[in-house]
């Protein structure tokens, strides 16, 4: 199995593991392994103006939705998650993909291990 196929299997597995959380949470959520391998719940997709969670997952530039001025702090938080296993909590501005409306949100980013791989789970609450 090549790395691409392995990562696809990981995303499928973690989405099954967190199915109830993704479906039942009142928060918008996305789970990130890398730019290609990520998932989100429908609340996240709707908040950012995508037709579906699948449509968002197919985008290869996940920071494209984050307002440019906030991208550095999101990258820093992600680095802390991946290198230090350190959760982060911050205010971030996102853009709705359809309307360009600015969405102010609190973002909680948490490290989670699944099948020997580190993922970043993001919980988003509109402010």
- Structural domain span for residue 121: 3-126
Answer yes or no: are the C-beta atoms of 88 and 77 closer than 8 Å.
yes
Answer yes or no: are the C-beta atoms of 11 and 39 closer than 8 Å.
yes
How far is it, in rounded angstroms, from Cα 15 to Cα 73? 26
Domain count along the chain: 1
Output the pLDDT for position 1. Answer: 75
Give the pLDDT confidence of 54-113 residue by residue, as tens digits. 999 998 877 788 998 999 999 999 999 999 999 999 999 999 988 989 999 999 999 999
4 — pLDDT class (breaks 50, 70, 90): confident
Output the pLDDT for position 122. Answer: 97
31: CB partners within 8 A, 6+ apart: 11, 14, 15, 18, 22, 38, 39, 40, 112, 119, 120, 121, 122
10 — pLDDT class (breaks 50, 70, 90): very high
Share of the chain above pLDDT 90, in %: 86
Among candidate residues 104, 116, 90, the one with its CA nearest the CA of residue 48: 104
Here the CATH number for the domain that contains residue 39 is 3.30.450.20
How far is it, in rounded angstroms, from Cα 6 to Cα 4? 5
Output the pLDDT for position 27. Answer: 97
């Amino acid at each position: 199995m090549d790395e691409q196929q392995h990562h696809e299997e990981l995303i499928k597995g973690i989405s099954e593991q967190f199915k109830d959380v993704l479906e039942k949470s009142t928060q918008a959520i996305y789970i990130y392994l890398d730019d290609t391998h990520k998932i989100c719940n429908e609340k996240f997709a709707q908040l950012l103006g995508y037709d579906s969670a699948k449509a968002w997952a197919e985008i290869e530039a996940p920071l494209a939705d984050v307002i440019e001025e906030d991208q550095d702090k999101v990258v820093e938080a992600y680095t802390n998650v991946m290198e230090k296993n350190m959760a982060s909590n911050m205010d971030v501005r996102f853009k709705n993909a359809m309307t360009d409306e600015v969405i102010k949100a609190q973002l909680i980013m948490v490290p989670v291990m699944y099948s020997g791989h580190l993922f970043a789970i993001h919980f988003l609450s509109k402010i």
